Amino acid sequence: MNRNHNTTGRAWGLIAVLVLALVPGAARAATLKVVTTVTDLAWVVQSIGGDRVQVTALCKGYQDPHYLQAKPSYAKDLKKADLLVFTGLELEVAWLPRLLDTARNPKLRPGSSDLVDASAAVDGILEIPTGPTDRSQGDIHPLGNPHYVLDPRKLIPIGEAVSRALADADPDGAEAYAAGYDRFKTDLTAKIAAWETRAEPLRGKPIVAFHKQWEYLADWLGLDILDYIENRPGVPPSPRHVSELIDAMKAKKAQLVICAPFVDVHAAEEVARRGGARQVVLPSSTGGVDGTDTYPQLIDTILGRLLGDGS
Amino acid sequence: MKTRFLGLLLGMAVLLPAPSRAQTSTTATGVSNALNPAISMNGLFEGTWRDPRGEADGLTIREVEMAMTSIVDPYFKANVSVGYEPDRTGPGAEVALEEAYATVLTSLPSGVGLRVGRMLMPFGRQNQLHTHAFPFIEAPLASRETIGPESAGDVALEGTYNPDFPWYMNLRTWLGDGAVEGVYDGASRDLAEGARLENLWDLSEATSLEGAASFWGGPGLTGERRRFYGADLRVKYRDPRKTYGRAAEASAELIVDTGDGREDRVGLSTLARTRVGRRWWVGGGYSLLSSIPEGTTDRVSAHEVRGQVAFVPSEFSALRLELVWLDPVVSDTELSLHAQMNFTIGPHPAHAY
């Protein structure tokens, strides 16, 4: 009798375990799988989604997001994703479409609300061409400059769009995402004020940049970009341009030459040396160099290197 | 005649002038370009010098290709590419539909993907490439002498499935019409069928290894079935931390051509190339074809060796210079020099891996 009782009890226990295992969310909180193309957007999603999201960034902070290889293994992450957040403005056009085709994730089909173009939330996109445009101007972005994440003010509307997208994909977590966004906005707003105070000495400082990817940073901090080493995006500069640039740097007393770690750092170093300026290698994304695991650490590092205060 | 008419239509489409003033409402005219497909064009111009001289020597347009792609509706995406190719030895030219297929966008069971239409058949590595994407100016000897000098396409239904394995695996199977010029008998009512299993392993962040096996069978030109078996391998390296950092790849492809009432032919092609500067690449390749030539009984091997220097000013143009040594066995050895200019206009293309 006792033995029968035990057997029946075990059977019910087993059934309960099976039911819990088969009913998603019954035994554990749902985790939303979010893929972002770049690490800065991954930080936004993680900050807002907290424990409810599992975030993967395809392009690491030390990689050039224009030229990521469309390796099919990246499609494995996209195949399992509930949501994709990308920069837009054709920054990822050379690799993202092919990866999405390979992944064949029904949630991430064209027109799906689970494809979140972060640029759609951003006001004040810079360098939207207003005149004739062709590739004699280099590998330009015809929809405008996509490097807006380097202006932290742009992340606030992106955060709002992300919280809405998370809530749409996971309605049970809507309150948590709304609270996450409020916290994100408050924290980031306070940090922006502190960063602006710290960056005050940089205002109006004449600088030279390697590639057209620092305009939003310059716009935010009031830096004066005199010119670019790569005067046509994606095209190596001519010796004549470099020579004229160095003359202009001397005439206008350019103090800094900035470049990302993944470009030709030695060319930037040479221009800085000949132009009498200081070369600064700046991470352009979260994780771009050691000590930039979060976006605030990224901006702290950028400011520290621009100011040369060693922080 | 038909191809010339199509060429004329294409030419008119390109040459028609843009409207000189504001357009009348498209609601009234019904003439709108708002949802036109993305259009890109690729041009390939070549110079060839052979020793001994051949009838295809000189300067020529190898191919001009127009590609269009668009989302059709919530259910399909369409890709169309049309190529113009002059006859290198005469005044004629051919305008041919290279690909025109629709990919199903809606969710299918187990994540299966479907494509239908005319497409380059995914047999091996080389045959999936459009002419402008060939790693060398010509297809390697082993591919040229088995499948043909250009990649072979067929009207087919292709199903694709990638299981959830720790590495990337993709299985492609297809059923084709079997009308592939020079390969299968177009007049036959028999269908062609094929499969390709492809794998990719990330050996490190910078290095990947790809391995694949393929099969393709169809109605042979002699009435007997013809079957191709293939295997290919590629190792690819690219410094992930630099935009124009070190990059290199090495690959090998084996093709076994069997049936169709003749002795088996076995081909092997290898290549290696590396970036040697921001805009410079060098590479080389070797190809072999083992066969029993018609009218003989002995198996012989033909060999080909290629060396190439490529200058790639941007993602939209390239200049390549190639030296080729060919020992066809059945005739004298041949040395040739090839130069090629390649350009692309239109939207930024998504790059193949």
Per-residue pLDDT tens digits for A203-233 = 999 999 999 999 999 999 999 999 999 989 8
Residue A154: what pLDDT? 98
Nearest to A62 among B170, B241, B350 (CB): B241
Distance between CA atoms of residues A293 and A301, nearest Å: 11
Where are the extended beta strands (E) located within chain B?
Answer: 38-51, 58-73, 76-86, 93-104, 113-120, 153-161, 168-176, 192-202, 207-219, 225-238, 247-259, 265-277, 280-291, 300-314, 317-327, 334-345
- Residue B11, helix vs strand vs coil: helix
| β-pair type (A256-259, A278-281) | parallel
Which ipTM value was assigned to this complex?
0.87
A231: closest CA among A221, A218, A240, A220? A240
A96 vs B350: CB contact, 8 Å cut-off? yes
A69 vs B353: CB contact, 8 Å cut-off? yes
Distance between CA atoms of residues A205 and A215, nearest Å: 14
Confidence (pTM):
0.88
B251: closest CA among B275, B268, B266? B268
Residue A25: what pLDDT? 41
pLDDT digits 0-9 by tens, A24-67: 444 445 699 999 999 999 999 999 999 999 999 999 999 999 99
Minimum CA–CA partner of A232 in chain B? B314
CB A80 within 8 A of CB A114: no
A234 vs B314: CB contact, 8 Å cut-off? yes
- Is residue B76 less than 8 Å (CB to CB) from chain A? no
- Is residue B352 less than 8 Å (CB to CB) from chain A? yes
Minimum CA–CA partner of A138 in chain B? B314
Minimum CA–CA partner of A64 in chain B? B243
Q: Tell me which chain B residues have a C-beta less than 8 angstroms from the C-beta of A93.
A: 347-348, 350
A236 vs B107: CB contact, 8 Å cut-off? no
Q: Tell me which chain A residues have a C-beta less than 8 angstroms from the C-beta of B208.
A: 71, 73
What is each CA distance from A163 to A28, A159, B161, B295, in whole angstroms? 22, 6, 33, 74
DSSP-assigned letters across all residues of B31-95: ---TTPPEEEEEEEEEEEEEES--TT-EEEEEEEEEEEEEEEETTEEEEEEEEEEE-TTSS-EEE
Can you tell me which residue has the tokens 């794998």? B199
Distance between CA atoms of residues B236 and A84, nearest Å: 27
A90 vs B348: CB contact, 8 Å cut-off? yes
Structure confidence at residue A287 as a pLDDT band (50, 70, 90): very high
Phi and psi for B222 in degrees, rounded to 5?
Answer: -105, 5
Residue B10: what pLDDT? 56
Residue B293: what pLDDT? 84
Nearest to A70 among B170, B314, B350 (CB): B350
Element (H, E) at A30: none
Counting as low any pLDDT under 70, the low residues of chain B are 1-24
**Cα angle value A61/A64/A65 (rounded, 5°):** 85
A→B interface, C-beta within 8 Å:
60, 62-64, 66-67, 69-73, 75-76, 79, 90, 93-98, 101-102, 104-106, 109-111, 135, 138-139, 234-236, 261-264
Residue A310: what pLDDT? 59
A97 vs B350: CB contact, 8 Å cut-off? yes
Residue A24: what pLDDT? 43
pLDDT digits 0-9 by tens, A290-310: 999 999 999 999 999 999 975
Q: Tell me which chain A residues have a C-beta less than 8 angstroms from the C-beta of B202.
A: 71, 73
Size of the A and B interface in Cβ pairs below 8 Å: 94
Q: How far is B195 from chain A (nearest CA, A)?
A: 17
3-state secondary structure B158-173: EEEECCCCCCEEEEEE
- Residue A88, helix vs strand vs coil: coil
B168 vs A76: CB contact, 8 Å cut-off? yes
